[in-house]
Structures are given as C-alpha cells and as structure tokens.
Amino acid sequence: KLKDGEQEKLVNLQRKADIQLDRMLTMASTWSRVLLSLQGKLKGTQWDPENSHRIDYSEFRRLLDSNHVHFMEYSNYGQTVSGKL
C-alpha cells in the first residue's frame, strides 16, 4: 500500500498527465482542422462556412430567437458573424 505522500504525488502526476493529454489533443484537433480547411475539405461546414448575404440586426435577432441556430461563430472582434441553421 502506498503512503499518503506517495499517493498524493501519484494523483498530482496523473492530473498533470491528463492536462497535458488534453492540451495535445486540442492542438492536434486544431491543426487537423486547419489542414483540412486549407485543402478545401471543410467548405460549407461549420468549420469553414461559405459567405452568404448581409442581414439586418432585426433579422439576425429573429433567427437567434427561433432556436434553430446550431452553430455560431464571431470573428474580427464581432464584425463578422457566421452561423449554421
């Protein structure tokens, strides 16, 4: 049986390993998405939506209130908003 100090070190090490694994998975996922986007394989998906037309704020608000929006992305400090219904 492990002593309390050893058990605490083991738990701390496992926590650090879990955090590192999560970071690596996030980074791999991001790179994968970037590469697929550069290859044009994500066109029209939520990760690389096609440009549409400009809409008035009232229309935008109506769409949000309809609860049919599946994905929303803000870019350029909120200047550009894209979504998927």
> What is the per-residue pLDDT across 6-56, written as a single tens digit (0 to 9) for each?
889 999 999 999 999 999 999 999 899 889 989 989 887 777 777 767 778
* Range(s) of the domain holding residue 11: 1-43
Q: How far apart are CA 68 and CA 23, in angstroms?
A: 32
Domain co-membership, 3 together with 38: yes
Q: How many domains does the chain have?
A: 2
Query: Does residue 75 surpass a pLDDT of 70?
Result: no
Of the two residues 58 and 44, the one the predictor is more confident about is 58
Q: How far apart are CA 72 and CA 66, in angstroms?
A: 14
pLDDT at 43: 83
Contacts of 25 (CB under 8 A, 6+ apart): none
Query: Does residue 64 surpass a pLDDT of 70?
Result: yes
Query: Does residue 79 surpass a pLDDT of 70?
Result: no
Domain co-membership, 31 together with 54: no
Query: Does residue 76 surpass a pLDDT of 90?
Result: no
Domain co-membership, 24 together with 59: no
Domain co-membership, 31 together with 55: no
Q: How far apart are CA 8 and CA 57, in angstroms?
A: 54
Domain co-membership, 35 together with 53: no
Domain co-membership, 55 together with 81: yes
